[in-house]
A = this chain, B = another copy of it.
Amino acid sequence: MAERLVIIGGDAGGMGAASQARRRRDDLEIVALERGTRTSFSACGIPYHVAGILDDLDDLVVRTPQEHRDQHRIDVRLRQEATGIDLTERSVEVRDHEHRRTYTLGFDQLCIGTGARPRRPPIPGIDADHVMGVQNLDDAEALLERAHRIRCQDVVVVGGGYIGLEMAEAFVRWGAKVTVVDAASEIMHTLDPDMAALVREAMGHHEIEVLTDVEVLGIEADHVVLGDRTLPADLVILGMGVTPNSELAGTAGLDLGPSDAVAVDRRQRTSADGVWAAGDCATSFHLLRQEPVHIALGTVANRQARVAGVNIGGGYATFPGVIGTAVTRLCGTEVGRTGLSTAEANEAGFGHIVGCVDGSTRAAYFPGATRVRVKILAEQNTGRLLGGQIVGGEGAAKRIDTLATAITAGFTVHDMVDLDLGYAPPLSPVWDPVVIACRVAARDL
């Protein structure tokens, strides 16, 4: 009998591993269990569908179940949910929602790619039907269906993380009045508050009300209860980050790590032999903090899946780790961050200095040049780059990649000053703002 690989979860973590494994091993039997109705989709694109920028939700599907079947001979089983893993028997219990039956599926190798789900803190009413998150395309479909059906007018986004803010902008474009509430003193906790304030300002210009230092005490059918007031809300969007779907793995006895994500080593192996995990459900190693972390991002999921798949297929690959690079565009403002924020650097015990500059995305005299603020953190004494944050106009965010590459290389701010970067008036000032920020920090060393 052929060796069987079972995949739990039909998105990036699972299917990426499946495709890579297939490339290396033609003989594997591969079964993929997906409790929803779609595979390999770009969840990050959902806000743009809500906003009406993308017409068809299925444009977000990178590879359909049929394509997986045809191109990689993967037995994709939709609406089938893994409900238990038996590590001794090496089998998965499967609930087939389509045919309302349960069966047992043996495996030789197992890859867990169950993803993550929006966090729901214990607020009264948080489990109501109109309190919705967006983690997959089925969620998105349900959300939009409801918004249309109830002729949604007032949306409250609870939590000012990336997805929450992207959904806030999307619902303004959709036609609703949107309020974002955040319990912290500033939105976007992966940025320093002074940088996040620029984003908040941009959101304000797009008629999105942002309330900070505000606790949600309860959610009712048509409003949200804050400490001193209520907000009308016929739809509530969850924007407080995600929590890994790791209950299945935990119950089976697999080791869990930070945030209860499935603990994996550098080859994406879990604590059980022949059992792998990849994507939003799994831990990553943070190259600066030098410890496992849980960072749920599409880039990380895809990279981990590739590594898991190569190893499952008998090859050798390791995932070196992450530094938390992320970009987004909100209300016309581009945002990038990498490495450690000030709070993270403090928590990790790094003494650090800061370089912060207001620069321009193009030569200052060139039409279309927009303001960009770059803030970098460097280690005290050594000058080693620890983190970077960028907020600005068109062309600002992807400059974070230069800092991400430099951090990965262990560059100091001195190394940055003479880095040979590209310059042309329509594309950049002669000294790129990321370099100027490093020069400023270098002066303080």
Count of chain A residues with a beta carbon within 8 Å of a chain B beta carbon: 65
Q: Does A261 contact B (CB under 8 A)?
A: no
Chain A residues near B (Cβ < 8 Å):
12, 42, 44-45, 48, 53-54, 59-60, 287, 297-300, 302-303, 306-307, 319-329, 334, 336, 338, 363, 365-367, 395, 397-402, 404-406, 408-409, 411, 415, 417-428, 430-432
Q: Evaluate contact between A48 and B420: CB separation under 8 angstroms.
A: no
Q: Evaluate contact between B418 and A303: CB separation under 8 angstroms.
A: yes
A401 and B44 contact, Cβ closer than 8 Å, known pairs A329-B427, A423-B299: no
Q: Which residues of B contact A12 (CB under 8 A)?
A: 430
A322 and B420 contact, Cβ closer than 8 Å, known pairs A45-B365, A399-B401, A428-B327: yes
Q: Which residues of B contact A298 (CB under 8 A)?
A: 423, 430
Q: Which residues of B contact A321 (CB under 8 A)?
A: 420
Query: Which among B303, B363, B401 is the interface contact of A42 at CB below 8 angstroms?
Result: B363
Q: Evaluate contact between B405 and A406: CB separation under 8 angstroms.
A: yes
Q: Evaluate contact between A42 and B365: CB separation under 8 angstroms.
A: yes
Q: Evaluate contact between B422 and A401: CB separation under 8 angstroms.
A: yes
A434's nearest neighbour on chain B, judged by CB, is B401
**Copies of this chain in its oligomeric complex:** 2
CB A436 to nearest CB in B, in angstroms, measures 11
A318's nearest neighbour on chain B, judged by CB, is B418
Q: Which residues of B contact A404 (CB under 8 A)?
A: 419-422
Q: Which residues of B contact A402 (CB under 8 A)?
A: 401-402, 405
Q: Evaluate contact between A398 and B365: CB separation under 8 angstroms.
A: no
Q: Evaluate contact between A421 and B325: CB separation under 8 angstroms.
A: yes
A423 and B323 contact, Cβ closer than 8 Å, known pairs A366-B48, A367-B53: no
Q: How far is the CA of A417 from the CA of B411 in the complex (A)?
A: 19
Q: Which residues of B contact A322 (CB under 8 A)?
A: 420
For the complex of A and B, the 6 pairs showing the least CB-CB separation, nearest first, are A327-B422, A409-B409, A405-B405, A59-B365, A325-B420, A401-B402
Q: Evaluate contact between A424 and B397: CB separation under 8 angstroms.
A: yes
Q: How far is the CA of A321 from the CA of B399 in the complex (A)?
A: 22
